[in-house]
Structure 1
């Protein structure tokens, strides 16, 4: 509330909110006093400290109870008042709350932030608790898709600055939160370390690029989730050449009978509807579509998908010619 904006207690609380949200969501969150507090009923301003922030692109009014306690029923009513008056997502915040009252807030779907403990925002599909944020153990079958994309981006584009979740999220078409989890994955493998400079988390890989790829090779996974045999050919401008078609463009491997293209698995439905692709039997197909676990467009500026993703896909191929072509990809990279 405006009467208390300058108090050291309010400043400390807003700083705690910024640190907690930044660490949890892996992007910079600015928490500022809500300048339009006088537009709300006066008792709201007397009861709560009010802040404004954008969380995952959503305007939020943070209704903070720094001292004292209120009943979950009253808090729910007050959150509704703020939400209706501001047309923003209203979020309750406090430093401490009993487990019983926290459960009652969740039962009433009241968004809340408890710095250092829990972030509950059902409208943004977020329920993150302190114990969830411990570094996760690497999956036994290799890197996560986002971690592999971050690794490949570093190796393929050394001249492009980009070591924070926010920068890499924009380039690789992920959320900053997903890139932050990818950082955790890469740290857990020993391939990288992270440090915080100001409010931004930065990643630093521990080896030069060629050695880094050698260390990471046992952890690499094919990006391909599924194959779609389709009829239609009016999509060359939308998708990148992939599979053995891309491999034949980048090496001496013979070009296959029909072309293969790649699309992020999350984008397959929209692309197929936009250009009218129809799934058919293999023998009737005009082309093959690979759906990928990450967006192939995020790593490649050219006509084909990137060389490292092709290497991850084909390095252990049962056809020796294809596996040898995959090895040739590495020799063609500008190390």
Structure 2
């Protein structure tokens, strides 16, 4: 029974949940008392403190106990009772819970939150533990695709006010969680710092414009994952001109024989099946498509992919003409 001080639950646990889940998922979490208890058995309200919130857009009901008492088997039964009654995602929450009992809940697929330790919600594909939140060292192979997207977006649009994960997510075609991790990568790379305004986390770059790009240069990676040569010209108009085709469009480089377009790697399979593209070799191709590690449309509202992604792709090219054209891309930007 929850016979402890109710004030602790009313203040301590909700705030701990808001802070912990909000920091992990990089979005604002508002935890409030769950009032719609009429459909629940009487003993539920006397055994747990009940809260509700929204996590990643899903309505969640939380059964909370400060002391972590109760067997995993009982908790699993009670979570299922509330889930059936509310048709919501239901999670158990407590401030302290043994690793053994957490393992037993995971074994039964029961969602739970232990602030400062673990967030396990299989319905939302989340299993995040405290050690995942440790600052990560700079990766030798460069920035993550999401971090590079955030960096390029800032350089290309320095006056945008969208500096929180939730605001950037929709425009850059990532989840707020992925943007939050991108923030972590940029902080670990010493390119930025993050600050908090209330419950919102914002990114602040340490330099601007050309200087920021030069500091990030050793960490830049080509966005291209693969290059596919295709027969047919049924290319969706929404695809951006890319590769040497875009480089020639934006500079005085000679235009290649066939046009190249870019698409997010995650979209390739669906689009290729929808329009029946046939892969071939370079000599027999009518066009080419690059699959990218991030969505090329997220950084460009023009006919071509963005100049910074092209620069990252071609700055170390073996052909000196192409390298020089990549440098000219930077000269043409409005620093």
Q: Shorter chain as normaliser: what TM range?
A: over 0.9
Match of 2:117 in 1: 117
Indicate if the aligned counterparts of 1:231 and 1:286 stay in contact, CA closer than 8 A. yes
Q: Matches of 1:91 and 1:232 in 2, distance apart?
A: 52
Q: Matches of 1:224 and 1:233 in 2, distance apart?
A: 21
Query: Which stretches of structure 1, 4 residues or longer, exceed 6 Å deviation after superposition?
Result: none
Residues 63-89 of structure 1, C-alpha deviations (whole Å, 9 max, x = no match): 112246111000000111111111111
Indicate if the aligned counterparts of 1:186 and 1:192 stay in contact, CA closer than 8 A. yes
Q: Matches of 1:264 and 1:136 in 2, distance apart?
A: 26
Match of 2:23 in 1: 23
Query: Structure 1 length as normaliser, TM-score?
Result: 0.96
Q: What are the equivalent positions in structure 2 for 1:1-335 lying under 5 Å apart?
A: 7=7, 9-67=9-67, 69-335=69-335
RMSD between superposed Cα atoms in Å = 1.7
Q: Matches of 2:61 and 2:93 in 1, distance apart?
A: 10
Residues 40-94 of structure 1, C-alpha deviations (whole Å, 9 max, x = no match): 1111111111111111122211111224611100000011111111111111111
Q: Matches of 2:116 and 2:183 in 1, distance apart?
A: 20
For 2:262, what is the secondary structure of its paired residue?
A: strand
Q: Matches of 1:232 and 1:20 in 2, distance apart?
A: 52
Moved more, 8-17 or 312-321: 8-17
Q: Offset of 1:8 from its aligned partner? A: 5.0
Q: Matches of 2:292 and 2:81 in 1, distance apart?
A: 44
Q: Matches of 2:207 and 2:159 in 1, distance apart?
A: 16
Q: Matches of 2:194 and 2:68 in 1, distance apart?
A: 38
Indicate if the aligned counterparts of 2:68 and 2:94 stay in contact, CA closer than 8 A. no
Moved more, 91-100 or 268-277: 268-277
Q: Offset of 1:99 from its aligned partner? A: 1.6
Q: Offset of 1:230 from its aligned partner? A: 1.6
Task: Give the aligned length.
Answer: 333
1:66 to 1:38, Cα distance in 2 relative to 1, 3 A: farther
Stretches of structure 1 that go unaligned for 5 or more consecutive residues are none
Q: Offset of 1:284 from its aligned partner? A: 2.2
Indicate if the aligned counterparts of 1:38 and 1:45 stay in contact, CA closer than 8 A. no
